[in-house]
Structures are given as structure tokens and as C-alpha cells.
Amino acid sequence: MDYIAAFITGGLICVLGQILIDLTKMTPARILTAFVVSGVALSALGLWEPVVDFAGAGALVPIVGFGHTLAQGMKESVAKEGFIGIFTGGFTACAGGVRASLVFAFIAALLKKPNSRE
């Protein structure tokens, strides 16, 4: 059941992205950016947590979940550290995904034969 909820919710979020690609000609970078900012906003309004409770990875794996993680991290750090938390928090929560991307990308670039095309 949880897998089905994750599948359907994640699938529907991707369909929304596909509709944006096909009907508005938005570039991938714009779509990703719009989804992350939407994730922050939805999470700030308390609307994303219920979706996470329902769909688990279906709400967290799409890039909207990245925005949600950013917002949750911000909430925690402001509650804990006050004003300074605005500058220090938020990013630690999602650092794992970004840092893993960076490290794997670097390894992939090193492994790539300099003149081959992927």
C-alpha cells in the first residue's frame, strides 16, 4: 500500500512537470527551480507534511521534497538558534543530496575518457 501511494503521488508530480514541459516550453532548469521553490512554500504553509505522511518517498523523492527539506531545516534552526538560524540552517538538512551529487559528478568526470561523448 505504501509503495502504491509513493508510486501514484510521485508519478502525479512528474505528470505535472511533464504538462509544464509540453504546454509551456519551460526549460528543465526552470521547472526544477519552480518545483523547489514550490516545495519550500508548500512546506512553509504546512501543506506538504501531510503529503509526506501519506506518500513517503512519493513526496520526498521528487525535487519538491528537496524544498520541503530546506524549509523544515530552516524551521528547526530558527526555533533552536533564533536569528542566526536563518543563515546557518536549512541547508544542512539537504546537504546530503547536494554533496553526494557533487562527489559522484566529480568521480564520473574523472572516469570519463576525455574525448568520448556520453
60-79 binders of other proteins (CB under 8 A): 60-67, 70-71, 73-75, 77-79
Alpha-carbon span 20 to 12, nearest angstrom: 13
Candidates 24, 50, 53, 104; binder of other proteins (CB under 8 A) is 104
Closest CA relative to residue 47, chosen from 76, 72, 77: 72
Cα separations in angstroms, 17 against 5, 22, 26: 18, 9, 9
Minimum distance, C-beta of residue 7 to other proteins, in the bound complex (Å):
4
- Contacts with other proteins: how many residues (CB under 8 A)? 79
51 binds other proteins (CB under 8 A): no
